[in-house]
Amino acid sequence: MAKLADCATELRAQGHTVRVVCADITMAHQMPEFKKASIFQAPRANVRFDEKMPRPINYSSLLLQHGYDSEENLTPILRAWLHLLATLDADLVMTDHSPTALLAGKLLMTPCVMMGTGYTIPRRSNPVASITPWKHAEGGDNTELFSEDNRLLGVVNQSVKALNFDKVEIKQAQDIYSHATQWIMSLPEIDHYGRREESYVVRWSNTARVQAPVWPQVPGEKIFMYMDARSPHLKLLLEQLGKRGDPVLAVIPNATSKFLQDFAADNIKFEREHVDIKAVTDQCRVFINHCGHNLVYELLMQGIPSILLPNNPENTLLAYRVAKRKLGFPGPAKPSRLNINELIESVATNDQVWANASRLSLKYENHESLERLHDLIAAKLPK
pLDDT digits (tens, 9 = 90+) for 315-360: 999 999 999 999 999 999 899 999 999 999 999 999 999 999 999 9
pLDDT value of position 367: 81
Amino acid at 303: G
Q: Is residue 23 part of a domain?
A: no
Task: Quote the pLDDT of residue 151.
Answer: 97
Does residue 137 or residue 283 have the better pLDDT?
283
Same domain, 92 and 174: yes
CB 237, CB 227: distance < 8 Å: yes
Please answer whether residues 52 and 36 qualify as being in contact, where contact means their C-beta atoms are separated by less than 8 angstroms: no
**Residues 353, 354, 358, 361: is their CA dihedral positive or negative?**
positive
CA proximity to 328, closest of 303, 363, 311, 364: 303
* Mean of pLDDT over the chain: 92
| Residues 59, 102: Cα–Cα separation, whole Å | 14
The predicted pLDDT at position 138 comes to: 73
Q: Is residue 137 part of a domain?
A: yes
Is 28 part of any domain? no
3-state class (DSSP) for residue 173 = helix
- Same domain, yes or no, for 63 and 188? yes
Q: What is the CATH number of the domain that holds 136?
A: 3.40.50
Cα–Cα distance between 305 and 310 in angstroms, integer?
15
Q: Are residues 194 and 333 in the same domain?
A: no
* Pairwise CA distance, residues 221 & 223, whole Å: 6
Contact 65, 36 (CB under 8 A): no
Q: What is the pLDDT of residue 47?
A: 76
| Strands in 35-173 per DSSP E | 38-41, 93-96, 112-116
**Residue 5 belongs to what H/E stretch?**
helix 2-13
Q: Are residues 47 and 108 in the same domain?
A: yes
Within this chain, do residues 162 and 260 fall inside the same structural domain, yes or no? no
Q: How far apart are CA 233 and CA 225, in angstroms?
A: 12
Mean pLDDT for 255-281 is 94
What is the total count of domains within the chain?
A: 2
Average pLDDT of the residues in 231-254: 96
**Residue 24 resides in a domain:** no
Higher local confidence (pLDDT), 49 or 42: 42
Is 2 a domain residue?
no
Average pLDDT over residues 153-164: 97
Collect contacts of 240-246 with beta carbons under 8 A, ≥24 apart. 240/338, 240/339, 240/340, 240/341, 241/265, 241/267, 241/268, 241/340, 242/267, 242/268, 244/220, 244/340, 244/341, 245/218, 245/220, 246/218, 246/220, 246/221, 246/222
**pLDDT at site 206:** 60
pLDDT of residue 208: 60
The 3-state DSSP class for residue 357 equals helix
> What are the two backbone dihedrals, phi and then psi, of residue 236, each rounded to the nearest 5 degrees?
-65, -35
Is residue 324 classed as helix, strand or coil in its secondary structure? helix
Supply the pLDDT for residue 382: 64
Residues 61 and 188 in one domain: yes
Q: Does residue 54 register a pLDDT over 70?
A: yes
pLDDT digits (tens, 9 = 90+) for 203-231: 766 656 688 999 999 999 999 999 999 99
- Other C-beta atoms lying within 10 Å of the C-beta of residue 240: 16
pTM score: 0.92
Please, is 187 exposed, middle or buried when counting C-beta atoms within 10 Å of its C-beta (0-12, 13-18, 19+)? buried
197 and 321 co-located in one domain? no
Tell me the pLDDT tens digit for each residue of 187-198: 999 999 999 999
pLDDT at 176 (0 to 100): 96
Q: Quick check: 52 pLDDT over 80?
A: no
Looking at the DSSP bridge assignments, the partners of residue 211 are 275
Question: What pLDDT sits at residue 43?
Answer: 94
The reported pLDDT for the residue numbered 72 is 94
**335 phi/psi in degrees, rounded to 5:** -55, -30
- Report which residue type is found at 154: G
Q: What number of other Cβ atoms are within 10 A of residue 229's Cβ?
A: 15
Per the document, the length of the chain is: 383
Q: Please name the helix (run of DSSP H) or strand (run of DSSP E) that holds residue 374, with its range, or none.
A: helix 373-380
- Maximum CA pair distance of the chain? 70
Claim to verify: residue 238 and residue 268 sit in the same structural domain: yes
Say if CB 68 and CB 155 are below 8 A apart.
Answer: yes
- Residue 364 binned pLDDT confidence (cut-offs 50, 70, 90): very high
79 vs 335: CA distance, rounded Å: 43
CATH assignment of the domain containing 279: 3.40.50.2000
Do the beta carbons of residue 95 and residue 112 sit within 8 Å?
yes
Q: Could you give the percent of the chain with pLDDT greater than 70?
A: 97
Q: Once rounded to an integer, what is the mean pLDDT over residues 278-295? A: 95
163 and 242 in a single domain? The answer is: no
Question: Across residues 140-168, what is the average pLDDT?
Answer: 95
User: 45 pLDDT band (50/70/90 cuts)?
Assistant: confident
Nearest Cα to Cα of residue 186 among 377, 379, 371, 5: 371
The mean pLDDT of 112-135, rounded to a whole number, is: 93
Look at residue 231 in the predicted model and tell me its pLDDT.
95
- pLDDT of 119 > 70? The answer is yes
Rounded CA-CA distance 144/49 in Å is 22
Range of the domain at 345: 223-363
Residue 128 CA: distances (Å) to CA of 104, 121, 173, 264: 20, 11, 7, 45
For residues 269 and 183, membership in a common domain is answered with: no
Are 258 and 178 contained in the same domain?
A: no
Residue 108 lies in a domain: yes
Q: Are residues 81 and 118 in the same domain?
A: yes
Tell me what pLDDT residue 173 has: 97
Please name which of 48, 79, 74, 50 lies closest in space to residue 63, comparing C-alpha atoms.
Answer: 74
pLDDT band per the 50, 70, 90 thresholds, residue 375: confident
| 114 within domain boundaries | yes
- Write down the pLDDT at residue 204: 67
Residue 76 to residue 70: CA distance in whole angstroms: 11
pLDDT of residue 205: 60
Q: Is 217 domain-assigned? A: no
